[in-house]
Amino acid sequence: MNVVVVTGAAGLIGSTLREAWHGRFPLLRLVDTQDLGEEREGEETWVLDLADFTATRRAVEGADAVVHLAAIPQEDQFERLLEANVGATYNVFEASRQAGVRRVVFASTNHVTGFYATSERVGPDDPVRPDSLYGVTKVFGEALGRLYADKWGLEVVCLRIGAFGERPGDADALPMWLSPGDGVRLFTRALVAPEIGFLVVYGVSRVPDSWWKNPGAAVLGYEPVDDVDPELRRALAAEAEPGGGLQGGRFAAREYWVER
Protein backbone atom coordinates (compact mmCIF):
# COMPACT_ATOMS: atom_id res chain seq x y z
CA MET A 1 0.00 0.00 0.00
CA ASN A 2 1.71 3.14 -1.23
CA VAL A 3 -0.68 6.10 -0.92
CA VAL A 4 -3.08 6.45 2.03
CA VAL A 5 -5.46 9.40 2.32
CA VAL A 6 -6.63 10.43 5.81
CA THR A 7 -9.54 12.87 6.02
CA GLY A 8 -10.11 14.76 9.25
CA ALA A 9 -6.38 14.47 9.82
CA ALA A 10 -6.25 17.40 12.26
CA GLY A 11 -8.59 15.68 14.74
CA LEU A 12 -7.66 13.56 17.73
CA ILE A 13 -7.70 10.21 15.95
CA GLY A 14 -6.31 11.69 12.73
CA SER A 15 -3.33 13.27 14.45
CA THR A 16 -2.69 10.04 16.37
CA LEU A 17 -2.64 8.05 13.13
CA ARG A 18 -0.45 10.66 11.47
CA GLU A 19 2.25 10.19 14.10
CA ALA A 20 1.97 6.42 14.16
CA TRP A 21 1.98 6.00 10.39
CA HIS A 22 4.81 8.42 9.64
CA GLY A 23 7.23 6.29 7.66
CA ARG A 24 4.89 3.28 7.65
CA PHE A 25 3.48 4.04 4.21
CA PRO A 26 5.37 5.72 1.37
CA LEU A 27 2.89 8.61 1.22
CA LEU A 28 0.31 9.90 3.68
CA ARG A 29 -2.03 12.46 2.11
CA LEU A 30 -3.54 14.38 5.03
CA VAL A 31 -6.79 16.24 4.42
CA ASP A 32 -8.66 18.69 6.64
CA THR A 33 -10.37 22.07 6.60
CA GLN A 34 -7.80 23.25 9.17
CA ASP A 35 -4.12 23.95 8.71
CA LEU A 36 -2.15 20.75 9.24
CA GLY A 37 1.21 22.32 9.98
CA GLU A 38 4.49 21.61 8.29
CA GLU A 39 4.75 18.70 5.91
CA ARG A 40 7.28 16.03 6.75
CA GLU A 41 8.94 13.60 4.38
CA GLY A 42 6.36 11.17 3.08
CA GLU A 43 3.45 13.55 3.73
CA GLU A 44 1.19 15.80 1.70
CA THR A 45 -1.14 18.20 3.48
CA TRP A 46 -4.31 19.29 1.71
CA VAL A 47 -6.61 21.96 3.13
CA LEU A 48 -10.01 21.52 1.50
CA ASP A 49 -13.71 21.06 2.17
CA LEU A 50 -15.02 17.57 1.38
CA ALA A 51 -18.34 19.17 0.43
CA ASP A 52 -16.50 20.15 -2.77
CA PHE A 53 -16.64 17.02 -4.91
CA THR A 54 -14.07 18.22 -7.44
CA ALA A 55 -11.54 18.91 -4.69
CA THR A 56 -12.32 15.58 -3.01
CA ARG A 57 -11.83 13.75 -6.31
CA ARG A 58 -8.40 15.33 -6.71
CA ALA A 59 -7.44 14.44 -3.15
CA VAL A 60 -8.05 10.70 -3.62
CA GLU A 61 -6.44 10.43 -7.06
CA GLY A 62 -3.80 7.70 -7.07
CA ALA A 63 -4.63 6.51 -3.55
CA ASP A 64 -4.71 2.86 -2.56
CA ALA A 65 -6.89 3.49 0.49
CA VAL A 66 -8.87 6.27 2.15
CA VAL A 67 -9.43 6.56 5.90
CA HIS A 68 -12.49 8.77 6.28
CA LEU A 69 -12.52 10.38 9.72
CA ALA A 70 -13.86 13.85 8.89
CA ALA A 71 -17.27 14.58 10.42
CA ILE A 72 -19.18 16.65 12.94
CA PRO A 73 -18.81 14.30 15.94
CA GLN A 74 -21.85 15.27 17.98
CA GLU A 75 -25.44 16.43 17.64
CA ASP A 76 -25.93 19.54 15.53
CA GLN A 77 -28.44 21.20 13.24
CA PHE A 78 -29.59 18.73 10.63
CA GLU A 79 -28.51 20.95 7.73
CA ARG A 80 -24.94 21.05 9.05
CA LEU A 81 -24.89 17.29 9.64
CA LEU A 82 -26.32 16.76 6.17
CA GLU A 83 -23.43 18.61 4.54
CA ALA A 84 -20.56 17.42 6.73
CA ASN A 85 -21.57 13.84 7.54
CA VAL A 86 -23.84 12.82 4.69
CA GLY A 87 -22.87 14.82 1.62
CA ALA A 88 -19.14 14.74 2.33
CA THR A 89 -19.23 10.99 3.03
CA TYR A 90 -20.97 10.40 -0.29
CA ASN A 91 -18.32 12.52 -1.99
CA VAL A 92 -15.53 10.43 -0.43
CA PHE A 93 -17.06 7.12 -1.52
CA GLU A 94 -17.97 8.28 -5.01
CA ALA A 95 -14.61 9.98 -5.56
CA SER A 96 -12.87 6.83 -4.35
CA ARG A 97 -14.87 4.71 -6.79
CA GLN A 98 -14.06 6.99 -9.70
CA ALA A 99 -10.38 7.09 -8.78
CA GLY A 100 -10.04 3.32 -8.46
CA VAL A 101 -9.28 3.34 -4.73
CA ARG A 102 -9.20 -0.23 -3.42
CA ARG A 103 -10.32 0.27 0.19
CA VAL A 104 -12.19 2.82 2.32
CA VAL A 105 -12.02 2.69 6.11
CA PHE A 106 -15.03 4.58 7.43
CA ALA A 107 -15.02 5.93 10.99
CA SER A 108 -18.46 5.08 12.29
CA THR A 109 -19.54 5.27 15.93
CA ASN A 110 -21.04 3.33 18.82
CA HIS A 111 -23.96 5.77 18.57
CA VAL A 112 -25.47 3.79 15.70
CA THR A 113 -26.58 1.32 18.41
CA GLY A 114 -26.90 3.77 21.27
CA PHE A 115 -30.52 2.99 22.12
CA TYR A 116 -29.73 -0.53 23.25
CA ALA A 117 -29.62 -1.05 27.00
CA THR A 118 -26.25 -1.46 28.67
CA SER A 119 -27.47 -4.86 29.88
CA GLU A 120 -27.57 -6.10 26.25
CA ARG A 121 -24.68 -7.34 24.13
CA VAL A 122 -24.94 -6.00 20.60
CA GLY A 123 -23.14 -7.03 17.43
CA PRO A 124 -22.96 -5.90 13.81
CA ASP A 125 -25.82 -8.21 12.82
CA ASP A 126 -28.27 -6.56 15.22
CA PRO A 127 -30.60 -3.83 13.90
CA VAL A 128 -29.24 -0.31 14.24
CA ARG A 129 -30.80 1.88 16.93
CA PRO A 130 -29.21 5.33 16.58
CA ASP A 131 -29.43 7.62 19.59
CA SER A 132 -29.14 10.95 17.74
CA LEU A 133 -29.21 12.56 14.32
CA TYR A 134 -25.43 12.29 14.47
CA GLY A 135 -25.84 8.52 14.88
CA VAL A 136 -28.26 8.49 11.94
CA THR A 137 -25.62 10.09 9.69
CA LYS A 138 -23.20 7.31 10.61
CA VAL A 139 -25.85 4.69 9.81
CA PHE A 140 -26.02 6.35 6.39
CA GLY A 141 -22.26 6.05 6.01
CA GLU A 142 -22.32 2.35 6.84
CA ALA A 143 -25.19 1.74 4.41
CA LEU A 144 -23.36 3.68 1.71
CA GLY A 145 -20.28 1.56 2.30
CA ARG A 146 -22.38 -1.59 1.93
CA LEU A 147 -23.74 -0.29 -1.38
CA TYR A 148 -20.31 0.53 -2.77
CA ALA A 149 -18.96 -2.85 -1.68
CA ASP A 150 -21.85 -4.77 -3.25
CA LYS A 151 -22.29 -2.75 -6.43
CA TRP A 152 -18.74 -1.68 -7.21
CA GLY A 153 -16.49 -4.12 -5.33
CA LEU A 154 -14.95 -1.43 -3.14
CA GLU A 155 -13.45 -2.93 0.03
CA VAL A 156 -15.05 -1.21 3.02
CA VAL A 157 -14.34 -1.47 6.73
CA CYS A 158 -16.67 0.43 9.08
CA LEU A 159 -15.18 0.97 12.53
CA ARG A 160 -17.70 1.78 15.26
CA ILE A 161 -15.44 3.81 17.52
CA GLY A 162 -16.21 3.96 21.23
CA ALA A 163 -14.61 6.34 23.75
CA PHE A 164 -11.18 7.17 22.29
CA GLY A 165 -8.60 8.58 24.68
CA GLU A 166 -5.74 7.91 27.03
CA ARG A 167 -8.18 6.66 29.68
CA PRO A 168 -11.95 6.31 30.09
CA GLY A 169 -13.30 9.55 31.49
CA ASP A 170 -16.37 8.20 33.28
CA ALA A 171 -18.40 5.08 33.99
CA ASP A 172 -20.24 5.34 30.65
CA ALA A 173 -16.94 5.28 28.77
CA LEU A 174 -15.50 2.29 30.61
CA PRO A 175 -17.18 -0.53 28.59
CA MET A 176 -16.31 1.11 25.26
CA TRP A 177 -12.88 2.64 25.85
CA LEU A 178 -10.41 2.58 22.96
CA SER A 179 -6.83 3.52 23.80
CA PRO A 180 -4.67 5.42 21.30
CA GLY A 181 -2.39 2.40 20.97
CA ASP A 182 -5.24 0.03 20.25
CA GLY A 183 -6.79 2.63 17.97
CA VAL A 184 -3.63 2.63 15.85
CA ARG A 185 -3.59 -1.17 15.83
CA LEU A 186 -7.26 -1.27 14.80
CA PHE A 187 -6.97 1.24 11.96
CA THR A 188 -3.76 -0.35 10.73
CA ARG A 189 -5.37 -3.77 10.52
CA ALA A 190 -8.39 -2.20 8.79
CA LEU A 191 -5.99 -0.94 6.13
CA VAL A 192 -3.79 -3.97 5.60
CA ALA A 193 -5.96 -7.04 6.38
CA PRO A 194 -6.41 -9.09 3.19
CA GLU A 195 -9.59 -10.23 1.49
CA ILE A 196 -12.05 -7.76 2.97
CA GLY A 197 -15.34 -7.20 1.19
CA PHE A 198 -17.52 -5.33 3.69
CA LEU A 199 -16.99 -5.49 7.42
CA VAL A 200 -18.28 -3.73 10.55
CA VAL A 201 -16.04 -3.83 13.64
CA TYR A 202 -16.43 -2.21 17.03
CA GLY A 203 -13.40 -0.21 18.19
CA VAL A 204 -12.71 -1.16 21.80
CA SER A 205 -9.73 -2.06 23.97
CA ARG A 206 -9.51 -4.90 26.52
CA VAL A 207 -12.29 -3.61 28.73
CA PRO A 208 -14.38 -5.55 31.24
CA ASP A 209 -18.03 -6.23 30.48
CA SER A 210 -18.00 -4.82 26.97
CA TRP A 211 -21.46 -4.23 25.49
CA TRP A 212 -20.42 -5.57 22.12
CA LYS A 213 -20.06 -8.81 20.23
CA ASN A 214 -17.20 -8.19 17.85
CA PRO A 215 -16.56 -11.08 15.43
CA GLY A 216 -15.11 -8.74 12.81
CA ALA A 217 -12.07 -8.08 15.00
CA ALA A 218 -10.83 -11.62 14.35
CA VAL A 219 -11.42 -11.21 10.61
CA LEU A 220 -9.19 -8.13 10.66
CA GLY A 221 -6.63 -9.77 12.91
CA TYR A 222 -7.15 -7.05 15.50
CA GLU A 223 -6.27 -8.01 19.07
CA PRO A 224 -6.49 -5.22 21.68
CA VAL A 225 -3.70 -5.18 24.21
CA ASP A 226 -4.47 -2.21 26.47
CA ASP A 227 -6.31 -2.69 29.78
CA VAL A 228 -7.91 -0.14 32.06
CA ASP A 229 -5.92 0.39 35.24
CA PRO A 230 -7.61 -1.86 37.89
CA GLU A 231 -7.88 0.94 40.44
CA LEU A 232 -9.48 3.28 37.91
CA ARG A 233 -11.76 0.48 36.75
CA ARG A 234 -13.04 -0.09 40.27
CA ALA A 235 -13.57 3.63 40.84
CA LEU A 236 -15.50 4.10 37.61
CA ALA A 237 -17.54 0.93 38.11
CA ALA A 238 -18.64 2.29 41.48
CA GLU A 239 -20.01 5.37 39.73
CA ALA A 240 -22.10 3.38 37.23
CA GLU A 241 -25.85 3.98 37.21
CA PRO A 242 -27.64 1.29 39.25
CA GLY A 243 -29.54 -1.05 36.96
CA GLY A 244 -27.75 0.31 33.92
CA GLY A 245 -29.01 2.68 31.27
CA LEU A 246 -28.65 3.13 27.52
CA GLN A 247 -25.43 2.55 25.64
CA GLY A 248 -25.65 6.00 24.06
CA GLY A 249 -25.56 7.72 27.44
CA ARG A 250 -26.31 11.42 27.17
CA PHE A 251 -26.71 11.12 23.39
CA ALA A 252 -29.96 9.22 24.01
CA ALA A 253 -31.46 11.89 26.28
CA ARG A 254 -34.34 13.94 24.90
CA GLU A 255 -32.48 17.09 25.89
CA TYR A 256 -29.61 16.13 23.57
CA TRP A 257 -31.14 17.74 20.51
CA VAL A 258 -30.58 20.82 18.37
CA GLU A 259 -33.76 22.59 17.30
CA ARG A 260 -34.18 23.88 13.78
Domain, as residue range, for 132? 3-252
Kindly state whether residue 221 falls inside one of the protein's structural domains: yes
203 beta partners: 161
Output the pLDDT for position 253.
95
Q: What is the CATH number of the domain that holds 53?
A: 3.40.50.720
Output the pLDDT for position 243.
59
Output the pLDDT for position 242.
64
Based on the number of CB atoms within 10 Å of its own CB, is 5 exposed (0-12), middle (13-18) or buried (19 or more)? buried
Kindly state whether residue 257 falls inside one of the protein's structural domains: no
Kindly state whether residue 259 falls inside one of the protein's structural domains: no
Kindly state whether residue 58 falls inside one of the protein's structural domains: yes
Output the pLDDT for position 260.
84
- Mean pLDDT score across all residues of the chain: 95
Kindly state whether residue 258 falls inside one of the protein's structural domains: no
Q: Count how many domains the chain has.
A: 1
Which listed residue (90, 116, 134, 222) is catalytic?
134
Kindly state whether residue 121 falls inside one of the protein's structural domains: yes
Alpha helical stretches, state H, 26-115 = 53-60, 78-81, 88-99
81 alpha carbon, distance to own chain's centre: 16
Based on the number of CB atoms within 10 Å of its own CB, is 1 exposed (0-12), middle (13-18) or buried (19 or more)? middle
Output the pLDDT for position 236.
81
Output the pLDDT for position 257.
95
Positions in the chain short of pLDDT 50: none
198 beta partners: 156
Kindly report, residue by residue over 11-41, the tens digit of the pLDDT. Answer: 999 999 999 999 999 999 999 999 999 999 9
Is 116 among the catalytic positions? Answer: no
Q: Read off the pTM.
A: 0.96
